[in-house]
Structure 1
C-alpha cells in the first residue's frame, strides 16, 4: 500500500482501523475517506484528524462515497468493514469497481462472520476478475487487481 493515494473505508466504527489507514495515507501523501452511518462517527472523526488532518470521516452511507470524490479520482485501496452481510459486501464492491485504479486492492473484513458474509466472499472470488485473491486467517479477504 506504499503508493496508495486514495483510500476509502466502509465502516469507521470508533475509528481504530481508520487511524491505521489514515497513517498509511499520510505516509504516502494520500487521503482517507471513511464512511460511518452510526452516531459515533464523531469519535472516529476526532481520532482520524489527529493522525492525518486532511483525511475525513464522513457520516454517510458508503454506497454514496463517489459523491465525495472528484470525477477523475481513482481508489487505490478500499477496506470494507461495515455491515457483514452479502448484500452490503457485494454492493460495496460493485460500487467500487468503476473507481478502482489499475493496481487497486480491496480488503473485506469478517469474511467468515456469518453464512451471508461467507457467501459474499465466495461469490467475489468466483465471479470477479482480479490478479490475486487470498483469505487471511479466515477473517480478511484480499482482492488485488
Structure 2
C-alpha cells in the first residue's frame, strides 16, 4: 500500500508508513453487486433487440436483458386510437367494434339508434344523443388504454 505523504510502497499488512510514520489509508472494502434479470424475451420480439443491455460481471459472467416498456409511444402507436375515435364519431359503437369490444359496441349502437329515433319525435332527446356520443368517445379512449 502506498503512503499518501511520501509515496513509499509499504507491505499490505502495515497500518503505518515504514518510511515516515504517517498512518496509511484504510483498505477500501470491495463489494460485488451482481444484477440478474429473469425477464424472458417474448418470442415475437426476438429480432427487436434495440434496447439490449449487457453486463459483464466477475468471472466473465455475462448477463443479457432487453428493456421493454421504456419505449416512448409514437404517433404510429396512437394511430389505432385515432381511427377508433373517428369511427365512433361517424357511426356510434363502431369504435368499440374496431377495438374488438363487440358487446359494448353493439350496446352503444342500439342505444344510439334508439335515442336518434326518439329524438325525431321529441326534440328534447337530441341532448341525450350528443351526450351518448361524448360518453362513447370517452369510453373508446378508456378501452384503448385498458387494452394496452
Do they superpose with TM above 0.5? no
What is the TM-score when the length of structure 1 is the normalising length?
0.20
Higher strand share: 1
TM-score under structure 2 length normalisation: 0.20
Query: Which structure is richer in relative contact order (CA contacts within 8 A, separation 6 or more)?
Result: 1
Q: Who wins on radius of gyration, i.e. which is larger?
A: 2
